Structure 1
């Protein structure tokens, strides 16, 4: 399959890419950039062309779905102010801790010291 060929994509994927591209163009993005973003979105959502053939091993649909759900859960946690696993509160600045406390509606945060903010953020909400 030559680079840029969309033969391996389903009609539904092609329609989706076209719709996404039109949306970007309506926002003032150039036609070429809109098309590139649209196909990148389709590829991220579905793992590329779904018709048989081509190169490499296709990721199973169930695995793609699980990855999307996991990604959505992480994004929601970020919006709620829950730090990602592995990110240590001690390494954050006081301002970052204040922002996190604000997202979680922790009372009295404006008068807390850095260590008090860390302790308050560690408590389950």
Structure 2
């Protein structure tokens, strides 16, 4: 038998676990094992019992928008107001970021270039 109280689970989660358990039992899995697998499946799909706040781990759309906006502002601030392809901006980017830009601009030999070579090639590509 699985450990822990199932009181925190919603009716839907309990029905789902019962349905999964019945499916395992139909396949010949012992009752205790079927129950354990069923609850493990429910936990994997929904993250466990009811969460405080009602809707589980769902983040509201407005909160996601605010987080994206904040992230964009931080990225812009990290470039310190420099144009995307300026010397200061290119110097602060990671090699992966530079490689992506080089790929977009179809710069040949980019995969074997060092970070400084990528910066130089991106400057030449304009």
Larger radius of gyration: 2
TM-score range, shorter chain: 0.3 to 0.5
Report the TM-score, using the length of structure 2 for normalisation: 0.40
Report the TM-score, using the length of structure 1 for normalisation: 0.41
